[in-house]
């Protein structure tokens, strides 16, 4: 009943819980306005009839509790699958920044924290080259002559084989919720950490690996870990902390739920080539070859939390 009540309250625009960034961060001023993003891409099958679905979710109020989502279908050329880069990310971020501005009486965030799910280690550089630049370009469009916000971009990885246990000399137990591992087994030079934010109800708890790829804000390790952990407590669908921050979970829910929606056939692409080609041509496959369709929802629910 509690879960159902929370979801109803969220869909009606109510607030269940709030993250106080002034308490979560060691260096935060009253002038700081945070905005949290979550992004995910789900893949159905290796067919142009079943596209990949990219979802970007962002907070739209000063409490960072209410979120809006934007969805886009991505069709790879020649039936290829696993289109992980979000081609229309700049357009989606522009739209969500404008939603935030309308809700907050014309104000815009000066700090953006972007959580990105579903990126493998081999794709980190590609994400930095494409998506981080698209986010910054979107900010330039919306902010104009105003100072641009500082951006922190964090990759969230759930698919790994690392597990942690407690051993009391007789038996092994799951670690407590909130356990952080940021040394010894992490990368010696890069900014990453494991966080087990959820308490295991049954079986073995699985920690989440976070990799900070870009950090203009200048978070300390403790700050980004505490902020991430607190965001895991704000999920509208649960009364306890979940395994990933709420923005990432919402992005996954929005992308997964959009599979059942019907889109008008209005794909857009920068470079379409229907020639079969050969393997050498496939190696030259670029993001410009991806056909995309942005989903347009009814304005009555477009900025609401329809996905929870």
Cα separation, 158 vs 167, in Å, equals 24
Contact yes or no for 269/292 (Cβ under 8 A): yes
**DSSP-derived pairing of the beta strands 191-196 and 179-181:** antiparallel
pLDDT of residue 37: 97
What angle (nearest 5°) sits at the alpha carbon of residue 12, between those of residues 9 and 16?
35
Confidence of residue 254 (pLDDT cuts 50, 70, 90): very high
Residue 221: pLDDT above 50?
yes
Q: Which domain holds residue 114?
A: 2-152+211-294
Would residue 169 count as lying in a domain?
no
Would residue 252 count as lying in a domain?
yes
Confidence of residue 272 (pLDDT cuts 50, 70, 90): very low
Cα separation, 242 vs 234, in Å, equals 9
Task: Tell me the sheet residues that pair with 42.
Answer: 53
Q: Which helix (H) or strand (E) holds 174?
A: strand 172-174
Q: Which helix (H) or strand (E) holds 55?
A: strand 52-59
Would residue 261 count as lying in a domain?
yes
Q: For residues 235 and 265, which has the higher predicted lDDT (pLDDT)?
A: 235
C-beta atoms surrounding 98 within 10 Å? 14
What angle (nearest 5°) sits at the alpha carbon of residue 174, between those of residues 171 and 180?
130
Q: Per the structure block, which two tokens stand in for 288?
A: 């410009």
- Please, is 136 exposed, middle or buried when counting C-beta atoms within 10 Å of its C-beta (0-12, 13-18, 19+)? middle
Q: Which helix (H) or strand (E) holds 166?
A: strand 165-167
Cα separation, 113 vs 57, in Å, equals 12
Would residue 177 count as lying in a domain?
no
Task: Give pTM, 2 decimals.
Answer: 0.88
Contact yes or no for 74/91 (Cβ under 8 A): no
Q: What percentage of the chain has pLDDT greater than the value 90?
A: 38
Q: What is the pLDDT of residues 54-65, one digit of tens each?
A: 999 999 988 889
Q: Which helix (H) or strand (E) holds 250?
A: helix 246-257
Q: What is the pLDDT of residues 232-248, one digit of tens each?
A: 999 888 888 889 999 99
What is the SS3 assignment for 297?
coil
What is the SS3 assignment for 84?
coil
How many structural domains comprise the chain? Answer: 1
Cα separation, 242 vs 246, in Å, equals 8
Q: Which sign, positive or negative, has the C-alpha torsion 22, 27, 30, 31? A: negative
CATH of the domain at 125: 3.30.420.10
Would residue 134 count as lying in a domain?
yes
C-beta atoms surrounding 240 within 10 Å? 12
Q: Per the structure block, which two tokens stand in for 172?
A: 């092994």
Would residue 29 count as lying in a domain?
yes
pLDDT of residue 74: 85
Q: What is the CA radius of gyration of the chain?
A: 20
> What integer best gives the mean pLDDT of the chain?
84
Would residue 227 count as lying in a domain?
yes
Q: What is the pLDDT of residues 191-219, one digit of tens each?
A: 899 999 888 777 778 889 999 999 999 99
Q: Per the structure block, which two tokens stand in for 8?
A: 């109803």
Would residue 193 count as lying in a domain?
no
């Amino acid at each position: 009943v509690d879960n159902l009540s929370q979801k109803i309250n969220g869909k009606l625009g109510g607030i269940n819980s709030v993250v106080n960034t002034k308490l979560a961060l060691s260096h935060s001023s009253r002038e700081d306005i945070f905005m949290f993003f979550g992004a995910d891409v789900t893949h159905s099958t290796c067919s142009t009839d079943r596209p990949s679905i990219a979802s970007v979710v962002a907070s739209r109020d000063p409490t960072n509790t209410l979120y809006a989502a934007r969805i886009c279908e991505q069709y790879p050329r020649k039936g290829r699958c696993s289109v992980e880069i979000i081609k229309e990310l700049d357009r989606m971020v522009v739209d969500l920044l404008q939603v935030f501005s309308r809700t907050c009486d014309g104000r815009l965030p000066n700090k953006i924290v972007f959580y990105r799910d579903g990126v493998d280690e081999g794709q980190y550089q590609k994400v930095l080259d494409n998506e981080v630049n698209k986010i910054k370009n979107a900010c330039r469009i919306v902010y104009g002559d105003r100072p641009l916000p500082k951006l922190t971009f964090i990759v969230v990885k759930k698919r790994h084989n690392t597990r942690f246990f407690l051993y009391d000399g007789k038996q092994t137990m799951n670690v407590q919720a909130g356990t952080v591992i940021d040394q010894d087994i992490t990368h010696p030079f890069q900014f990453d950490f494991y966080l087990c934010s959820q308490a295991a109800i049954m079986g073995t708890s699985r920690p989440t690996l976070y990799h900070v790829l870009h950090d203009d804000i200048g978070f300390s390790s403790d700050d980004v870990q505490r902020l991430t952990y607190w965001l895991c407590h704000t999920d509208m669908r649960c009364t306890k902390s979940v395994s990933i921050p709420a923005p990432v979970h919402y992005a996954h829910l929005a992308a997964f739920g959009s599979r059942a929606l019907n889109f008008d056939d209005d794909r857009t692409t920068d470079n379409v080539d229907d020639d079969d080609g050969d393997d050498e041509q496939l190696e030259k496959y670029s993001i410009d070859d991806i056909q995309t369709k942005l989903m347009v929802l009814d304005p009555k629910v477009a900025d609401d939390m329809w996905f929870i």
